[in-house]
Amino acid sequence: MKRAPAAAKINLALVVGPPRDDGKHEVLTVLQRIDLVDRVELEEAPELRVEGFEGDTLVTAALRALARNAGVEPRWHVRIEKRIPVAGGLGGGSSDAATALRLANATLPEPIADEELHRIAAGLGADVPFFLADGPQLGTGDGSELEPLDLPQDFWVVVLLPHGAAKSSTGDVYAAFDARHDAAGFAERRSTLLDGLAGVKRPRDLAALPPNDLASSPLAEAIEAAGAFRADVSGAGPALYGLFHQRKDAEAARRALRRLGRTWLAAPAWYG
């Protein structure tokens, strides 16, 4: 039996451009793990079976793709203990899939190379490769081309999933983005993000990064009013996050924000 945590992510920034020839959008995003985690257990088994998340398709697809690549049958039993809210923009499904890939690959007589594992992950979804890498990353292209970032990690995160929040499909969120013609000015926003990253030395400097292009929420103002030095939607939403310098302030904000939805207190995580 192999076990590992599968961490959530937040997008500390997300700049979106026009659709590419392959139908995906050009993006520039800053990806940060947090220690809000699912738990994944994997063992060899007579056939492929995934338990613990009734709506799973991604872990199953990941393991089938790995088996095809390795020339073996997908004979693993996976148990997922979910804690990351589903369809919240926090990457829980992608993280579960990447974690299952790592664990299953380690059971192979000849584990496949990291580069090939990355290729399989990118074929599953733009966020999946991030969870194979350690530390914060800059995602470019469709988000799956990664570059490590040296960012401060000494801050606290409050995650808020608003009451009654229902996420539209990611495709619908991007379609709405296109309908608003929000890709205009992508080059300028991209430059603003890169310039902002170059100036990040302390946690408070993250506040200078541009806001999420893809999704927004008036509740970000409520999180800032509770003391966050930065608040935004993560990914396509609907979950939001707030960044805090001190744990006590983050805990107080979490209590104050419970009237608006489910809340979690977390810290940056380097891996998992």
Look up the pTM and report it. Answer: 0.95
Annotated active-site residue 127? The verdict is yes
Domain boundary among 148, 177, 200: 148
Looking at the structure, tell me whether residues 136 and 168 fall in a common domain: no
Q: Does 213 fall in a domain?
A: yes
pLDDT confidence of residue 204:
98
Looking at the structure, tell me whether residues 20 and 129 fall in a common domain: yes
Residue 10 has pLDDT above 90, yes or no: yes
H or E segment to which residue 28 belongs: strand 25-44
Q: Average of pLDDT values for 136-150?
A: 96
Catalytic residue among 96, 127, 213, 232, which?
Answer: 127
Contact by Cβ (8 Å): 11, 38: no
Order of strands across the sheet that contains 240-244: 230-233, 240-244, 156-162, 261-266
Using alpha carbons, list the distances in angstroms from residue 117 to 101, 103, 109, 152.
Answer: 8, 12, 15, 28
Q: Quote the domain boundaries for residue 127.
A: 2-148
pLDDT tens digit sequence for 246-255: 999 999 999 9
Catalytic residue among 9, 38, 96, 232, which?
Answer: 9
Q: Does 272 fall in a domain?
A: no
Looking at the structure, tell me whether residues 135 and 175 fall in a common domain: no
pLDDT tens digit sequence for 157-194: 999 999 988 767 777 888 888 788 777 888 999 999 99
Specify the CATH number for the domain of residue 113.
3.30.230.10
